[in-house]
Structure 1
Amino acid sequence: MVYHGRCQCGAVRAEIRGEPAAVRECWCRQCQQLAAGGPTRNAMFRTEDVELSGELSTFAYVAASGNTLLQSYCGVCGTPVMAQSSARPQFRTIRLGFLDVLGSVRPTMAIWTEEAPYWALIDPDLEQHTRQPPPPPATS
């Protein structure tokens, strides 16, 4: 499968050749700040499967997991593009809203649910982790 993505203004684009290793929604506090109070929804693709064009702006911080996260977004329009974790350099975590065909992937797991606000609606059919989940299986 080939996935394509682009930011709102079109300055950053992606072509992704491969299936996601995991698709998650994250309720950590930093993701809530990024997603206007809700979770971020993300697909983890192998680094070598992701080809980006355009200039990204970045912001790095140490997350509650203890890992350094690098958030990338379009420096022109601000669209969130992806994250990279120091614990999993083999993956790029692409924001689902960045993908052109949103319906083609959907979360199967909710993570950091202990940080979700009391009013959060978390799909009970999703596998749930109160904090950091185990890494996705290695893909070939």
Structure 2
Amino acid sequence: MQGIQYPISGACQCGQITYQLLEPPLRVIACHCRECQKLSTSAFSLTALVKVEAIRFQGPLQHWQRLADSGNTNCAEFCPGCGNRIYHFNPEQPDIIKLKPSTLADTRIIQPTLHVWVSEKQDWFEIPAGVEQHPTQPW
């Protein structure tokens, strides 16, 4: 995306966790599953797939995990102070971090190119024409 300068800084709400995103994400995804609606307290949750080596974190992260409907283990890292989710990861994909990109200082990279779990999408939300979508998890 033009005009975006890397690294981009990011932080939780209280500032205890900070990070630097060193390069563009591989992909930005909007997930409409009920669990992501709970997480985001909105219609969907946004995730930027980032290579592990493309991000540097500072500060103590807290860990939580659950079994996803897809059968994958969904691990989450969040700030122990304010509770802000910073990223998720699947232990079976150790090279990829699922960054919660709304924590970035420059959020212009948040342009989803894929919508998943649209079978659970809120009826009032319209996915833009031409954007890839799947009724469940495609992988």
Band the TM-score falls in, shorter-chain normalisation: 0.7 to 0.9
Residue 93 of structure 1 aligns to a residue in which SS? strand
Q: Identify which of 14, 37, 46 aligns with 2:42.
A: 37
What residue in structure 1 maps to residue 78 of structure 2? Answer: 73
What's the counterpart of residue 129 of structure 2?
A: 124
Deviation >3 Å, runs of 4+: none
Distance 1:29 1:65, change over 3 A: same
1:79-94 to 2 correspondences below 5 Å: 79-94=84-99
Tell me the residue number matched to 1:138: none
Aligned pairs for 1:1-140 (under 5 A) are 1-134=6-139
Question: Counterpart amino acid of 2:81?
Answer: V
Q: TM-score, normalised by structure 2?
A: 0.88
Structure-1-length-normalised TM-score: 0.87
Q: CA RMSD in A?
A: 1.5
1:34-68 deviation per Cα after TM superposition (whole angstroms, max 9, x unaligned): 01132111111001111111111221011011000
Give secondary structure in 1 for the equivalent of 2:37.
helix
Structure 1 residue 11: Cα displacement: 0.2
User: What percentage of aligned pairs have identical amino acids?
Assistant: 28
Give the aligned residue type for 2:77. S
Residue 3 of structure 2: aligned partner: none
Taking the aligned partners of 1:19 and 1:104, their CA distance within structure 2 comes to 8
Q: Give how far 1:24 is off.
A: 0.7
Partners of 1:104 and 1:8 in 2: CA distance: 19
Unaligned runs of 5+ in 2: 1-5
State the number of aligned residues. 134
Q: In the TM superposition, what is the alpha-carbon distance from 1:125 to its structure 2 partner? A: 3.4
Q: Deviations over 1:61-110 (max 9, x none)?
A: 11011000111211111212110013422111111211110113321111
For 1:29 and 1:122, the matched residues in 2 are separated by 17
